[in-house]
Each structure stands twice: as C-alpha cells, then as structure tokens.
Amino acid sequence: MGMTFCAKEVMMARVPEWTKGEFITLISKPELSDEDLIKLLPKRSKDAVWIVRAGVHSFHTGGNISMLSEMMMNLLGSKTTLVECPICKIAF
C-alpha cells in the first residue's frame, strides 16, 4: 500500500506547464527540502513542488500519477540513470 495523502490529494491536478529543465532539477535534488528546492525553482510554489514529488513517489510505487505530465512520465520511464525518490529515498 502506498502513502495516504489525505486532503492534498484533492488538490492534485496535472501540471503540464513544468519545463523539462525544472523537472530535472526537481528529481536531481532529492536531498533538498521543499523550502530549499523552490529557491532553485522560483516559478513554483512549495505545494506545487510537493505535488510533483508525490507524483515521482507514486510513479515507482504504482500509485496515482494523474498529476504528472506526459513529459514527466516519459522522463521517469525512459531515464538512463537512477532517480532517487525525494520522498522515500529509494533509487529506481
């Protein structure tokens, strides 16, 4: 069973406006807190970062990935290097 996201799950909408560069920044900095990551992603809110990070976690745990854009899913699915999950720190 995956994690329960409670009320925040209601807010999860697809975020297709993220650029590939922004998403690569997000998945390459799993060690940063949401607060520190938004300093590198000035156009994104803390909630937006959290939602995409939750989507990365859902991607490798088989959960709800309806918030991920096609670009994000393609990138996670076709990666050539391991991605470290920002939530559970497991590499996949």
Enumerate binding residues for Zn ion (CB under 5 A). Answer: 57, 85, 87-88
Alpha carbons 8 and 55: distance in angstroms, whole number: 12
Alpha carbons 49 and 46: distance in angstroms, whole number: 5
**Which one, 41 or 85, has the nearer CB to Zn ion?**
85
Alpha carbons 27 and 78: distance in angstroms, whole number: 14
Smallest separation (angstroms) from Zn ion to the CB of 42: 26
Smallest separation (angstroms) from Zn ion to the CB of 47: 19
Smallest separation (angstroms) from Zn ion to the CB of 33: 16
**Which one, 44 or 57, has the nearer CB to Zn ion?**
57
Per the structure block, which two tokens stand in for 38?
Answer: 């938004």
**Which one, 43 or 88, has the nearer CB to Zn ion?**
88
